[in-house]
Amino acid sequence: MRRATPFLTAALLVSATVAMSGCSEAQDGSSTAKIASSLQDLFSQWLSSPEATDYDRDVLEEAVKTGSITQAQYQKALDLYISCMSDSGYELQRTRYSTGVINVQPPPAVDDVDALMTADQLCRENTSVFVVMGYETQQGNPGLYSDPATIAYTCLKDHSLITSDVTVAQVSAFLTESHRNQYPFDAHDLGVKSCFYAAGMVYDIDDSE
């Protein structure tokens, strides 16, 4: 059984804050629709957003020129957010992927989910909204695809985590089906989890079911 996270991942936040470009389908079934023409274009969009924090603006002004957000800038944004959540009474768990992305998750047992989500939103608004999204996008979805299945499929393929006969439809099924099944990749592999995290999905698998 897979369990999705109650937090919004960067991929889902990105899709909610940018306009999508034209959509078409590639030969392998993946979507070519993109969230922006380039990372610099994406950073420029965010820089003009009223939701950008002071730290976001400082980093994005540089990123528009360089085309990237550094790991150190990302780490500082996360540290600010994690500290804010700690002050709100939530000690977050962290999983670091080989891409440099850190999956930050709430404690396993939370009595009041609404209070958690309120704290999450306030901490993002008071620390950094776009630096975390920007770094996780450039690391996990450098092609800037808008379709979650295409993001995950491209990541899995680029990191040799699937064989050439695996289809986008099979990857999409893992994103949308809630029951256990046999999939053409190792769902326990941290690299595979990183690819699905980039697509907006965090999951656990209970082997006892």
Tell me, letter by letter, the H, E, C secondary structure of 120-182. HHHHHHHCCCHHHHHHHHHHHCCCCECCHHHHHHHHHHHCCCCCCCCCHHHHHHHHHCCCCCC
Q: What is the pLDDT of residue 208?
A: 54
What is the percentage of the chain residues whose pLDDT exceeds 90?
69
Q: Global pTM?
A: 0.85
In DSSP terms, 31 is beta-bridged to: 25
CA 122 – CA 118 distance, rounded (Å) = 6
Average model confidence (pLDDT) across the chain: 86
Q: Supply the angle between the helices 190-198 and 130-140 in degrees, to the nearest 10.
A: 120
Per-range mean pLDDT, top range of 59-73, 98-112, 159-173: 59-73
**Where residue 24 falls among pLDDT bands split at 50, 70, 90?**
low
Where are the domains positioned within the chain?
Answer: 10-198
State both tokens at 94. 């962290």
Q: What is the pLDDT of residue 183?
A: 84
pLDDT at position 110 is: 85
Model pLDDT for residues 129-163, shown as the tens digit of each residue: 899 999 999 999 999 999 999 999 999 999 999 99
Contact (CB, 8 A) for 105 and 204: no
Q: What is the pLDDT of residues 73-113, one digit of tens each?
A: 999 999 999 999 999 999 999 999 999 999 999 888 888 99
